[in-house]
Structure 1
Amino acid sequence: MLPLQGIRVLDFGWVMAAPITAHLMADMGAEVIKVESRTHLDAARRGRPLVSGETSDGDLGNEPDLVPLFHSLNRGKLSITVDLTHPRAWEAIRPLVAKTDVIVHNLTPRASRNLGLTYERLAALREDIIVVSLTAAGQYGPLSDISGYAPSVSSLAGLEGLVGYDGEDPIGMLGLNFSDPNAGMLGYLAAVAALWHRKRTGQGQHVDLSQMEGVAQYLGEPFMEYSMNGSVPSPKGPYHPRMSPYGNFPTSEPDRWVAIAIDDDLDWQAFGKVIGESWVEDERFASREGRMAHRGELNQFVAAWTGPRTVDEIVLPLQHANVAAMPVMSIEDQFADPQHQAREVYVNVEHPKVGSEPIHGLAWKMSDTPGQVDRPAPLLGEHNRYVLEDLLGFTTHQVQDFQDAGVLE
């Protein structure tokens, strides 16, 4: 039996943050029902289709069941299509909420009010319900109703302004969408904590998660630097405040690199024994302070040593000496890597329209209740009949009436 078996979750999420919270709950055994719409199609269902079709078809939403991003973010879920803006939508949603343990969404407070998804209204339908809202800046404050994407949120949190090269304008990390998966993981943690609280007390609650605050918690050192020293942190390029050498270094293999990080003098001594070059005896590099003061020249020496060697010729002896050296892996490398395979970083799931496709697995391995990634993402509206007829008890005639009226899409 999986840890969350018997728990039902309604996912009103959009794109990434809330859907990640919900799919993690599905991985751990919860029944997760994604409430979506053909009229207002989840952006994760748009984009380049995995098989067949043109890119333009995907962008227009004509291939909603073939987009790999959606498959990854929504594996293990059920799908119903309800137009929440329809005057009769709550005839279908109301009884479903009453049978639900957790509701997850990443709508702005304004949007959740407009759609009737406020905690107060939902708790009136089920007193012990748990609502997890993952908004950009939280439910209150002057910025509570701002809209944005993940890079917007990490910019607001201060992260983007720290990424770049020393003395130059910030370049940010806009392609990584860091705040979305981070918020999704935090949302899962908070949802499980709220379920534990409900088990002990019988009380539900509203989990108000600010994605901005979720990112800001990683900026402890810059915050301390400003609060204690009065200096405003700025981009420093590929340098670490304590470690040297530190960075990615070339190898003899085309477009393959190794990451090396030396922290203290013991690391440096172990590194030097493997290197065996005369420059490791240079007195300028004997202390952390000296290595930091001459880090540019030191990195050049390291690059000259790594350049003629293969990844394995660099990484294996350094790791044997307990030096932090790792290959810089591409996505292609990950699929072939024995460690990734052994840990099932990616698992193959059979999708009805795509066939077997790799989906990222669970990052944790629990000894007794390990979770599972064994069901594909749902087709759009695939489970309308199951949810409305089998779960809620509507008749076939009533479901058809919903369909004819445009409540179901």
Structure 2
Amino acid sequence: MLEGMQEGSGPLAGVRVVDFTWALAGPGCTLFLGMLGAEVIKVETAQYPDAMRRGAYSVSGDLDSSPTFNSANLNKLGLRLNLRRPEGVQIIKRLVAVSDVVVENFRLGVMDRIGLGYQVLRQVNPTLVMASSCAFGSTGPWRELAGYANVFNAMSGMGSITGYQDGPPTELRDSIDMRVGTNLTFAVLAALYHRQRTGVGQYIDHAAAEAITRHLGDAVMDYAMNQRVTPRRGNRDPLMAPHGCYPCKENDTWLSLAVGTDDEWRALCLVLGRPDLAADPRFADGAARWAQQAELDSIIGAWTCQRDARQAMQELQEAGVAAIPSFSAKDLFEDPHLRARGVWQDVEHPKLGTTHVQVPPWRLSATPASVRRHGPLLGGDNDYVLCQVLGMGAGEVERLAGQQVFE
């Protein structure tokens, strides 16, 4: 274990992951594996570092000063190698031989071209779990096409049901990448569990767009069973009404509200000061209310716009109506509930100073997940990986450095 890095106590403590991921989708997977206790070694080259190191929120041109990269790569160690050199490829093979998992999300064929495809690595480590995630998977006519989050969103069908009825499909952007990463994490954990039971490793062929299609739910089933194409509904729900996001008193503040039962509807009417609505035949049951959503939105919006969002939430929640403000990033950091839950943790970073990061979203009682350190500096842990993990001596490291293997 690297000096100064807290020993992981999570369920994956003792598992080593070689991480070739970049951007957000792939690193989202290895971020979760690291939070669960795995030792994650992120491999980068000086020529092609992770694109997030040059993210829009970087405080300078320094590749080690990107808050976006840091938050997506917490707990990871940094290994910088020149994979154009055969010696660099050999180092990776040595590392894979003493590791459990390899994760990559390059375009199809990149790992094979540099001599690190699954068929090669399984010879080095027969029990290896290797996960490869690309836009459309490793088979099919689109297998070599490129894709980012907006492409995953479009091809998955998610864009077609997101947005307002009279508007275009809407991109979900970064949340798409994190959904892909979460989905890939599930596959890696399943493969590790299988290996624990059988001793057999395996290859995971992961298609990012298909991972997002899994979130369509009823839209897919409705077409499969009824040949109906689900329209975009904005903030409306296919069953519940009222259901929406309503303007509040302060500028650009909103309240999300949903009513799922007749009891909740009657409670809402009392809070609105309109008990007459509960007896109005236009709103007699869920189906009737669903047909009158425009009228309901107008009534509720007239009430919310006279109130602070948190005040409205309190009144509604006390009556048993599901409602909460639509949070901004500022709200997330200042919210007393999230602070009481310990959602935010201060982590010291060599270049960024004190950073505020989100802790794992799970609270495991016996094997807690954790944030143990900042994201890796580019090649910042070469000495640990080369000397302690791989057992290289100073002379070998110096010789390889002279051959530009670490550039």
What TM bracket, shorter-length normalisation? over 0.9
Question: What residue is the counterpart of 1:355 in the other structure?
Answer: 353
Question: What residue is the counterpart of 2:21 in the other structure?
Answer: 13
2:55, 2:69 within 8 Å by CA — same for their partners in 1?
Answer: no
Q: For 1:348, what is the secondary structure of its paired residue? A: strand
2:74, 2:374 within 8 Å by CA — same for their partners in 1?
Answer: yes
1:49, 1:66 within 8 Å by CA — same for their partners in 2?
Answer: no
Cα drift, residue 88 of structure 1: 2.8
2:35 to 12, 27, 38: 27
Amino acid at match of 1:36: E
Amino acid at match of 2:328: S
Deviation digits for residues 199-226 of structure 1 (CA, Å, limit 9, x no counterpart): 1111111122211111111112111222
Deviation digits for residues 26-65 of structure 1 (CA, Å, limit 9, x no counterpart): 11211110000111121011134544x3xxx3xxxxx111
* Whole-angstrom CA distance in 2 between matches of 1:151 and 1:292: 31
1:242 to 214, 239, 253: 239
Q: For 1:209, what is the secondary structure of its paired residue? A: strand
Cα drift, residue 289 of structure 1: 2.1
Amino acid at match of 1:179: I
Between stretches 6-15 and 310-319, larger displacement belongs to 310-319
1:189 has 2:197 as partner: no
* Whole-angstrom CA distance in 2 between matches of 1:212 and 1:158: 9
Question: What residue is the counterpart of 2:391 in the other structure?
Answer: 393
Amino acid at match of 1:32: V
2:260 to 260, 263, 281: 263
Q: Per the alignment, do residues 48 and 153 of structure 1 end up closer, same or farther by CA in structure 2, a change over 3 Å counting?
A: closer
Q: For 1:178, what is the secondary structure of its paired residue? A: helix
Q: For 2:174, what is the secondary structure of its paired residue? A: coil
* Whole-angstrom CA distance in 2 between matches of 1:396 and 1:406: 15
2:58, 2:68 within 8 Å by CA — same for their partners in 1?
Answer: no
1:46 has 2:54 as partner: yes
The equivalences for 1:51-62 within 5 A come to: 51=59, 53=60, 57=61
Between stretches 296-305 and 251-260, larger displacement belongs to 251-260
Q: For 2:86, what is the secondary structure of its paired residue? A: coil
Deviation digits for residues 323-354 of structure 1 (CA, Å, limit 9, x no counterpart): 11111111101111111112222211111111
* Whole-angstrom CA distance in 1 between matches of 2:245 and 2:46: 45
1:151, 1:178 within 8 Å by CA — same for their partners in 2?
Answer: no
Q: For 2:40, what is the secondary structure of its paired residue? A: strand
* Whole-angstrom CA distance in 2 between matches of 1:289 and 1:18: 43
* Whole-angstrom CA distance in 2 between matches of 1:328 and 1:220: 24
Question: What residue is the counterpart of 1:145 in the other structure?
Answer: 144
**Structure 1, unaligned stretches of length 5 or more?**
58-62
* Whole-angstrom CA distance in 1 between matches of 2:101 and 2:259: 46
2:89, 2:116 within 8 Å by CA — same for their partners in 1?
Answer: no
Q: For 1:238, what is the secondary structure of its paired residue? A: coil
The equivalences for 1:158-237 within 5 A come to: 158-168=157-167, 170-174=168-172, 176-237=173-234
Q: Per the alignment, do residues 256 and 167 of structure 1 end up closer, same or farther by CA in structure 2, a change over 3 Å counting?
A: closer
2:57, 2:68 within 8 Å by CA — same for their partners in 1?
Answer: no
* Whole-angstrom CA distance in 1 between matches of 2:176 and 2:127: 29
Q: For 1:26, what is the secondary structure of its paired residue? A: helix
1:179, 1:211 within 8 Å by CA — same for their partners in 2?
Answer: no
* Whole-angstrom CA distance in 1 between matches of 2:309 and 2:317: 12
Deviation digits for residues 174-194 of structure 1 (CA, Å, limit 9, x no counterpart): 5x2333211211222221221
1:347, 1:358 within 8 Å by CA — same for their partners in 2?
Answer: yes
* Whole-angstrom CA distance in 2 between matches of 1:211 and 1:156: 10
Amino acid at match of 1:292: W
Cα drift, residue 394 of structure 1: 1.9
Amino acid at match of 1:190: A
Amino acid at match of 2:24: M
2:250 to 250, 253, 277: 253
2:298 to 297, 300, 307: 300
Q: For 1:69, what is the secondary structure of its paired residue? A: helix
**Structure 2, unaligned stretches of length 5 or more?**
1-8
Between stretches 32-41 and 260-269, larger displacement belongs to 260-269
Between stretches 124-133 and 186-195, larger displacement belongs to 186-195
Q: Per the alignment, do residues 236 and 2 of structure 1 end up closer, same or farther by CA in structure 2, a change over 3 Å counting?
A: closer
Cα drift, residue 231 of structure 1: 2.3
Amino acid at match of 1:159: M
Q: For 2:244, what is the secondary structure of its paired residue? A: strand
Cα drift, residue 317 of structure 1: 2.1
TM-score (norm 2): 0.94
1:179, 1:212 within 8 Å by CA — same for their partners in 2?
Answer: no
Q: CA RMSD in A?
A: 1.6
Q: Per the alignment, do residues 288 and 49 of structure 1 end up closer, same or farther by CA in structure 2, a change over 3 Å counting?
A: closer
2:247, 2:301 within 8 Å by CA — same for their partners in 1?
Answer: yes
* Whole-angstrom CA distance in 2 between matches of 1:66 and 1:154: 29
Question: What residue is the counterpart of 1:373 in the other structure?
Answer: 371
1:179, 1:214 within 8 Å by CA — same for their partners in 2?
Answer: no
1:318 to 297, 316, 320: 316
Question: What residue is the counterpart of 1:90 in the other structure?
Answer: 89
* Whole-angstrom CA distance in 1 between matches of 2:160 and 2:111: 31
Question: What residue is the counterpart of 1:60 in the other structure?
Answer: none
Q: For 1:88, what is the secondary structure of its paired residue? A: helix
* Whole-angstrom CA distance in 2 between matches of 1:146 and 1:344: 42
* Whole-angstrom CA distance in 1 between matches of 2:34 and 2:116: 21
